[in-house]
Amino acid sequence: MLWLTLRQLKSKQAPARRRAAEELCQSPDPKAYSALAAALTDPDDEVRRIVVTALGRLEDDRRIEALITALRDRDPEVLKAALTGLKNSTDERIAPAMIPLMRHMDPGVRGYAATLLYARGWRPEERDEQLSYQIATGQLAKAALHGSAAIQALETVIQTGAYNQRVAAVEALGKIDDKRVIKPLLSALRSNDPSVCAAAISALGQTGDAQICDNIVGMLRHNDGHVRAVTVEALARLGAGRAVEPLKPMLRDPVWDVRRAAASALGKLKDARALEALTNALRDDDADVREATAIALGSLNDRRAIAPLVKALADSTSGVRRIAAAALSRIDGDWSSSEEAQGAVAELKNSLQEQDSDMRYTVSSLLTSLGVHSPETEVLLPNEMPTSTPEKRRKLAASLFLACLCDADNILRQAAAESLGRLGEQRAEPALQRALRDTDSGVRLAAEQALLALQESRETQ
């Protein structure tokens, strides 16, 4: 019934032609070669794919020429079928016909062609062949080493490649030192894939061209948090002052990593316009954000940051406290004597009423350090009286700790006793004597050691 099948292969109905091609594919017959070769121009892609598969199964040397012809088909699936049909042939005409397919728009076609060529013993020699082979096999970082010559090929991968290849192609473009990479990278910002967008933004940030800020600032409104964070970091690398205002609202982003990146970026830009926004960010719920904010405020080197940073010394997270202290020293080595610091200390006194015992302990320790470690002398301008002296601050701290000896929290009572001993305040002795009868052993021990410290202080005077 071969004659009937061949007749159906010429039917005006595509389904009928497909059924005929399937039958010829299942029972390959050299007598059907001419009809199959003629069907390579069938308008239906699926018919052509089945026909090419049938040709690949024929035990007829004439099939090589027909399959090579099929390598010029427009449909990727037809091309893959033709490549499969030629896979095991040793005909010398095959390799030259396969080489152009390494530059095909379809990643599957170019990758399959490159793999088969390599298996046949073919190796790229000229630069264009090396570039095509590297692109086709996903060696995109190596392709970028060809410089400007790789831009167009990498752009094709961004447009047509698989997910991981698109990201890698964007990263490879970012390594090419040529301003012409900017255009395809900007085009990649329109990708529906957030990873591609993020990679493109990062690559654009590495160009060092501050003019790009205007092109990427809109990505701060992207619906993906990672894209927003990468945009913030790119704007910081580009270092443009025009980015300050768009970055300030990012300190209120719902994603903590975006807020952290925004604080870090504003610190790198060192623009005083960010001071108020950064000061507010010191109250962020996330400790990492607060740490980045404290670093940023120190980078601004603005005395207006002293007060908020002093308050940050009472933060519940030790990392924030350490960074705030370092930031203060960066702004003013004698920050504890400044009017800004004293105003903040007055507000911190109210924190001793907090219900959180850890917070009260932290504030108490802070006030101790401010009393003990302040300079012993101050340089005064003519006819100017000091608003605060080390002695006044020491007495203020002692009063606060005496009050803390009556706190319901045993940890705070112990901290207060220890602090009074370090302050050397003699008027604290009666209260410390009473603390020797405290119900908590830690408080009793701290009071005992504090009294010994007071005695030693009197003997050395």
| CA pair distance 275, 273, nearest whole angstrom | 6
Question: How do residues 404-444 score in pLDDT, each as one tens digit?
Answer: 776 667 777 887 888 888 877 777 888 888 889 888 898 99
Structure confidence at residue 357 (pLDDT): 57
Q: Is 371 buried (19+), middle (13-18) or exposed (0-12) by CB count in 10 A?
A: buried
Structure tokens, 404: 């803390």
Q: Which helix (H) or strand (E) covers residue 78, if one does?
A: helix 76-86
Structure confidence at residue 361 (pLDDT): 55
| CA pair distance 82, 70, nearest whole angstrom | 6
- Amino acid letter, residue 226: H
Neighbours of 145 (CB within 10 A): 15
Cβ pair 56, 63 in contact under 8 A: yes
Structure confidence at residue 290 (pLDDT): 94
Backbone angles phi, psi at 257, to 5 degrees: -70, -30
Structure confidence at residue 328 (pLDDT): 83
Structure confidence at residue 395 (pLDDT): 65
Structure confidence at residue 161 (pLDDT): 86
Distances (CA, A) of 256 to 172, 251, 262, 297, 389: 29, 9, 10, 18, 41
Distances (CA, A) of 308 to 28, 261, 341: 84, 20, 9
Distances (CA, A) of 381 to 295, 335, 386, 391, 438: 32, 18, 9, 19, 48
Selection from 310, 277, 306 nearest residue 293 by Cα: 277
Structure tokens, 190: 């329109």
Tell me the whole-structure pTM to 2 decimals. 0.67
DSSP for 246-294 reads HHGGGGG-SSHHHHHHHHHHHHHHT-GGGHHHHHHHTT-S-HHHHHHHH
Q: Is 161 buried (19+), middle (13-18) or exposed (0-12) by CB count in 10 A?
A: buried
| CA pair distance 342, 30, nearest whole angstrom | 99
Structure confidence at residue 364 (pLDDT): 57
Distances (CA, A) of 212 to 183, 200, 228: 11, 12, 16
Structure confidence at residue 367 (pLDDT): 55
Could you give the residue ranges of the DSSP H alpha helices within 304-440?
Answer: 306-312, 318-331, 339-349, 357-372, 390-404, 410-423, 429-435
DSSP for 171-217 reads HHHTTS--GGGHHHHHHHTT-S-HHHHHHHHHHHHTT--GGGHHHHG
Structure confidence at residue 11 (pLDDT): 92
Neighbours of 391 (CB within 10 A): 11
| CA pair distance 189, 196, nearest whole angstrom | 7
Which residue stretches of the chain have pLDDT < 70?
1, 336, 345-397, 399-400, 403, 406-408, 461
Fold of the domain spanning 354-373+391-461: Leucine-rich Repeat Variant (1.25.10)
Distances (CA, A) of 274 to 246, 299, 309: 11, 11, 15
Question: How do residues 312-363 score in pLDDT, each as one tens digit?
Answer: 877 878 788 878 878 887 888 777 677 787 777 666 666 555 545 555 555 5
| CA pair distance 24, 6, nearest whole angstrom | 9
DSSP-based three-state secondary structure for 421? helix
Structure tokens, 424: 């050397």
| CA pair distance 173, 200, nearest whole angstrom | 9
Structure confidence at residue 318 (pLDDT): 75
Q: Where are the domains of the chain?
A: 354-373+391-461
